[in-house]
Amino acid sequence: MSLSVSSAPRGIVTVTLDLPERRNALSAGLVGALTEALDDLGGDADCRAVLLTHTGGTFCAGADLKDPPDPAEFVALLRRIVALPKPVIARVDGHVRAGGLGLLGACDLAVAGPASSFAFTEVHIGVAPAVISMPLLPRLDPSAAARYHLTGERFDGAEAARIGLVTAYATDVDGTLQAMLDGVRKAAPGALAETKKLLTVKVLDAFDHQSDALIALSARLFGSAEAAEGMAAFFERRECRWAL
């Protein structure tokens, strides 16, 4: 089981990334399961919001390099989260890397805890954060986006909140989430859906105008000699040949 879905009292449905032995990496199977779950929840009148969380010490490690998802299907998943007529709220108290940051960035709200850490590691394995730029770049502080995309540096939850990657950093993750969920529960469903549309215009515009070009770029880079070396180094636990 890579994903579990459970209803909580008063309209909140919890979707849990549940493959800790694979660091909740985005395999083709996980992307498909998450897409199917969101399709169901989008039309569920009893669901007021989706809480996306994880088991283990990693929220999501990015693409599963042994079973990567089709780029077009991953893009469709990210767009589905953004366009879902209910808020998607992420609970993060673990590591988030590469494509996992795209998953996080597509969510409407996110709370990061003290065990969280973040890094855009794509440049270190010979690729670029191509398709995940669509939900992320409209939201991130431009200077911080440049720094962390180009260097692959690791940063913590407090910094993630400062640069706009998450809504809040809290030592009491669940307490902070509770206040958000209580607010959503008080909202009229139709008004909530229309308000989300107002907030996601720029992100959906990026998907509508950039998807094809960025999917092609992602495919080209993952098929490159640099990516082959980067992935080999990753699996062999060594430095890439270009590292100085």
Catalytic residues, which ones? Answer: 122
What one-character-per-residue DSSP string does 213-243 give? HHHHHHHHHHTSHHHHHHHHHHHHT---TT-
Which residues, other chains included, contact 98 with Cβ-Cβ below 8 Å and sequence gap of 6+?
61, 62, 63, 119, 120, 121, 122, 129, 132
Cα separation, 41 vs 81, in Å, equals 11
Query: What tokens appear for 167 in the block?
Result: 């809504």
- Sheet with 109-112, edge to edge strand ranges: 3-7, 12-17, 49-54, 88-92, 109-112, 168-169
What's the rounded Cα separation, in Å, for the pair 61 and 98?
A: 7
Helix, strand, coil percent content, the chain, rounded in steps of 5: 50, 15, 30
Structure tokens at 68: 């990567």
What are the residues whose beta carbons fall under 8 Å from the beta carbon of 106, sequence distance 6 or more? 78, 79, 81, 82, 88, 135, 203
